[in-house]
Amino acid sequence: MPAPDDRWSAAGERRGGTVYTRPELLGPRQIRNARFAESRFGRRGLDPGEVRRFLARVAAEVADLQAEVTRVREESHRIKEAMRGWQSRHAARVNERGYR
């Protein structure tokens, strides 16, 4: 059985994608439905290398998502601060003109 995704190296590094595109991310369904080849040479269980590659991929994508959440939170904070500043400046101008 082929590896869960051949765009990942044995070290779990992403292959494929460019600066402008990125490989398709894992979805919950893909994680839940992941299937692994059985071990070779009469051993019982799953192929350890295949499982490690899949776990490395999941870990890399979770790390990417956590970094993205952090970036979005920082951007949201920056936008909120800019909006508060604009509102304060705008309110001060309105008050100078005597408007309510």
Answering whether pTM is above 0.85, one says: no
pLDDT of residue 10: 43
Q: Are 60 and 67 in contact (CB under 8 A)?
A: no
Report the alpha-carbon distance of residue 5 to residue 68 in Å, rounded. 22
Nearest of 4, 1, 2 to residue 54 by alpha carbon: 4
Contact at 8 Å (CB) between 36 and 47?
yes
pLDDT of residue 16: 53
Q: How far apart are CA 9 and CA 53, in angstroms?
A: 7
Q: How far is CA 47 from each of CA 33, 53, 58, 59, rounded to the nearest angstrom?
A: 16, 10, 17, 18
Mean pLDDT of the 74-94 span: 91
Higher pLDDT among residues 10 and 45, named by residue: 45
Distance between CA 79 and CA 29 in Å, rounded? 34
Q: By percentage, how much of the chain surpasses pLDDT 90?
A: 21
